[in-house]
Amino acid sequence: MTNKDKDYQKYIRNFSIIAHIDHGKSTLADRLIETTGLVQSRDMKAQYLDNMDLERERGITIKLQTTRLAYKGQDGNEYILNLIDTPGHVDFNYEVSRSLAACEGAVLVVDATQGVEAQTLANVYLALDEDLEILPCLNKIDLASARPDETKQEIEEVIGIDASEAPLISAKEGLGIGELLEEIVKVIPEPTGDPDGKLKALIFDSKYDSYKGVIIYTRIIDGKVKKGDVIRLMNTGKKYEVTEVGFCAPGPVPADVISAGEVGYICGSIKQVSDARVGDTITLDNDPTEEALPGYKKAQSMVYCGIYPAEGEKYETVKDALEKLQVNDAAFNFEPETSTALGFGFRCGFLGLLHMEIIVERLEREFDLAVITTSPSVIYKVVKQDGTVEMIQNPTNLPPQTEIAHIEEPMVKADIMIPKEYVGAIMELCQDRRGRMIHMEYITETRVQLHYEMPLNEVIYDFFDALKSKTRGYGSLDYEFIRYERSNVVKMDILLNRDLVDAFSMIVHESKAYARGRFVCEKLKTIIPMHQFEVPIQAAIGQKVIARETVKAFRKDVIAKCYGGDISRKKKLLEKQKEGKKRMRQFGTVEVPQEAFTAVLKYDENK
């Protein structure tokens, strides 16, 4: 596209697809790619299925993908449709908002059998924040239980956008896809940047490639960029010479130049994705734009936990794996630490609990490593008697009580959106999580937004899960850090057979310590196997024991039957038992299965 038509932007549409989990976003994306036929369906699969087990299982998109589609409109013109996919979890809200900022419009997919749900709304509000044009469409129209009219009405009432013309589609069956493509062209506005202006481009994603270095995915707002240009990233101030530019189809297709209104990629021998952080603005070093794009945020780890190799000798392997993950994940960081119980390991920082789970699962799946994670913790600000301040993200490092003047914990502003019938239940939940209500408002007749200030510590454990379960999936959550606040938090230790196991130590609010101590002891009781002796499990604050359970000495582990000569069955059973033993960690005299460390993290308060 060297000799660009002056009007080339008229034929570009940049859009995202937004939807609630399982409403068919990925299927629709696949169908659009297939219908427009820009890529062979085989390549498309390779692109879309790579490393996606995790996302599939959790029904969320973690990593973004961008695809350029060629579409011939009914008006006879060739259009370029840039589909920018978005992740779907509150941990990644920032990434979602940057992706949306790269678009002029969003296709809102609503499952016609389910209607409007929480994430639909959360995503719509993110899209409206970016002033996007929203094009609703109803999916799964082929199912007998589809109720398009009601769903349309819901969209109009709850979201407040006109849905009368919304295309009825079935992404699975390929119904209505042509009509939808036509609507995308008609409804979503064309980009209106100035190709002759100073370069201003938004980084909405980046990923590491072992040949090209970091690939920056970008939306050019104004100006243009080509190979050989020296670009400057305005927030980090770093400069790079451009080695390649191009489009995503979805694999990289090099081009001479990318210009205002277009979506593409830039490479510049960049070593780490953290050097090209999402949200940053790209400009030319020798002819910079004056103002960076708004909305840039530095990656900030909110949650920390220890990650230890399950087998001590794997330390270096785990370190290598973490380094590789870090290269591709700007929001993840780690440093070495040591635990008396678990040996050498790493303290790792994450955006949130889901982000943490993803990293741990990737270690296990992509690197085939078994790791043990310790209780996640937020960063506490410890003000000591001598006036000095320490930031503590590992409970074990908390100074002795006598040296502490007071402790402050991070607070967040939490915006919670729910149908009105759940207000009571959610207010109770928030109160239980030490939340302070700031404000409550009716968004529509049926939907309510609650604004709370809450300790981050209370949000990270399983607040999102609890919110989902108490609202049948309709609740949505967004939160951001606001400040540190003084708080009566204490360090709770766990002792097994009277030995302190530091990996279980956690910082909890005084008012929660008893319940949490009891919970952990009860949980461990069900997980720690019986030994030849009784194993007392104690939760203690300082010297004071606040909860206790006992694993009795073992009494019975015998198979009475002989299974009519089926020795293999018995052998398998014994092998399983032996295998289980291998996964145990020895703490003093007590054997603890590795799952104990993750099991105590999930705090099920319905119990």
Partner 1 sequence: MHIPFCLRKCLYCDFYSEGCDDAELRKAYTEALLGEIAHYGHKYGKALKADTIFFGGGTPSLMEPELIDSIIKALRKAFTVSDNAEITMECNPATLTADKLMGYRAAGVNRLSIGSQSFDDEVLAALGRIHKASDIEDTVKAARAAGFDNISLDLMFAVPKQGMDKWRESLEKALSLHPEHLSFYSLEIAEGTPFGKMYQAGTLEETPIEEDRRMYHYALDRIEEAGYVHYEISNACLPGREARHNLKYWNLSDYLGLGPSAHSYIGGERHSNAANLAEYIKVGGVGCIEESYINDLDDDAVEYTFTALRTKDGVSFENFRDKFGQEFWEFHASAKKEFEGFVQGGYAIEDDKHIALTRKGIDISNKIMALFV
CA atoms within 13 A on the CB side of 123: 33
Which x/- pattern, by CB under 8 A, does the window 474-513 give for partner 1?
Answer: ----------------------------------------
User: Please, what is the minimum distance in Å from the beta carbon of residue 561 to partner 1?
Assistant: 6
Q: How far apart are the first and last CA of the chain?
A: 63
What distance in Å separates the CA atoms of residue 200 and residue 562, rounded to the nearest whole number? 76
User: Please, what is the minimum distance in Å from the beta carbon of residue 564 to partner 1?
Assistant: 5
Q: Binding to partner 1 by residue 144, rule CB under 8 A?
A: no
What distance in Å separates the CA atoms of residue 50 and residue 339, rounded to the nearest whole number? 35
Per rule CB under 8 A, count of chain residues that contact partner 1: 24
Q: Binding to partner 1 by residue 78, rule CB under 8 A?
A: no
User: Please, what is the minimum distance in Å from the beta carbon of residue 579 to partner 1?
Assistant: 9
What distance in Å separates the CA atoms of residue 330 and residue 235, rounded to the nearest whole number? 14
User: Please, what is the minimum distance in Å from the beta carbon of residue 587 to partner 1?
Assistant: 17
What distance in Å separates the CA atoms of residue 371 and residue 94, rounded to the nearest whole number? 28
314-317, long-range: CB within 8 Å, 24+ apart, which pairs? 314/369, 314/370, 315/343, 315/344, 315/345, 317/367, 317/369
Find how far residue 189's CA is from the centre of its chain.
Answer: 30
Q: Binding to partner 1 by residue 558, rule CB under 8 A?
A: yes
Three-class secondary structure of residue 182 per DSSP: helix
What distance in Å separates the CA atoms of residue 9 and residue 16, rounded to the nearest whole number? 18
Answer yes or no: are the C-beta atoms of 189 and 15 closer than 8 Å.
no
Looking at beta carbons only, is 439 or 561 nearer to partner 1? 561
Q: Binding to partner 1 by residue 271, rule CB under 8 A?
A: no
Answer yes or no: are the C-beta atoms of 387 and 465 closer than 8 Å.
no
What distance in Å separates the CA atoms of residue 60 and residue 464, rounded to the nearest whole number? 14
Which parts of 512-541 interact with partner 1 (CB under 8 A)?
532
Q: Binding to partner 1 by residue 40, rule CB under 8 A?
A: no
User: Please, what is the minimum distance in Å from the beta carbon of residue 582 to partner 1?
Assistant: 11
Three-class secondary structure of residue 96 per DSSP: helix
Strands 200-209 and 281-284: antiparallel
Q: Binding to partner 1 by residue 74, rule CB under 8 A?
A: no
From 6-14, 51-59, 256-264, 550-558, span contacting partner 1 (CB under 8 A): 550-558
From 160-168, 209-217, 303-311, 556-564, span contacting partner 1 (CB under 8 A): 556-564
User: Please, what is the minimum distance in Å from the beta carbon of residue 588 to partner 1?
Assistant: 15
Q: Binding to partner 1 by residue 583, rule CB under 8 A?
A: no
From 385-393, 434-442, 555-563, 583-591, span contacting partner 1 (CB under 8 A): 555-563
Which of 465, 468, 463, 524 has the alpha carbon at shortest distance from 493? Answer: 524
User: Please, what is the minimum distance in Å from the beta carbon of residue 313 to partner 1?
Assistant: 18
Q: Binding to partner 1 by residue 290, rule CB under 8 A?
A: no
User: Please, what is the minimum distance in Å from the beta carbon of residue 495 to partner 1?
Assistant: 24
User: Please, what is the minimum distance in Å from the beta carbon of residue 577 to partner 1?
Assistant: 4
Looking at beta carbons only, is 530 or 599 nearer to partner 1? 530
User: Please, what is the minimum distance in Å from the beta carbon of residue 531 to partner 1?
Assistant: 10
Q: Binding to partner 1 by residue 550, rule CB under 8 A?
A: no
Q: Which residues contact 472 (CB under 8 A, 6 or more apart)?
A: none
Among 6, 439, 544, 561, binds partner 1 (CB under 8 A): 561
What is the token pair recorded at 256? 């001479």
From 59-67, 290-298, 507-515, 566-574, span contacting partner 1 (CB under 8 A): 566-574
What stretch of H or E contains 479? strand 476-487
CA–CA distance from 180 to each of 29, 183, 261, 468, 508 (Å)?
Answer: 12, 5, 22, 31, 51
Among 556, 586, 606, 607, binds partner 1 (CB under 8 A): 556
From 42-50, 158-166, 422-430, 554-562, span contacting partner 1 (CB under 8 A): 554-562
Q: Binding to partner 1 by residue 564, rule CB under 8 A?
A: yes
Which parts of 421-480 interact with partner 1 (CB under 8 A)?
none
The residues of the shown chain that bind partner 1, judged by CB under 8 A, are: 532, 554-568, 570-571, 573-575, 577-578, 581
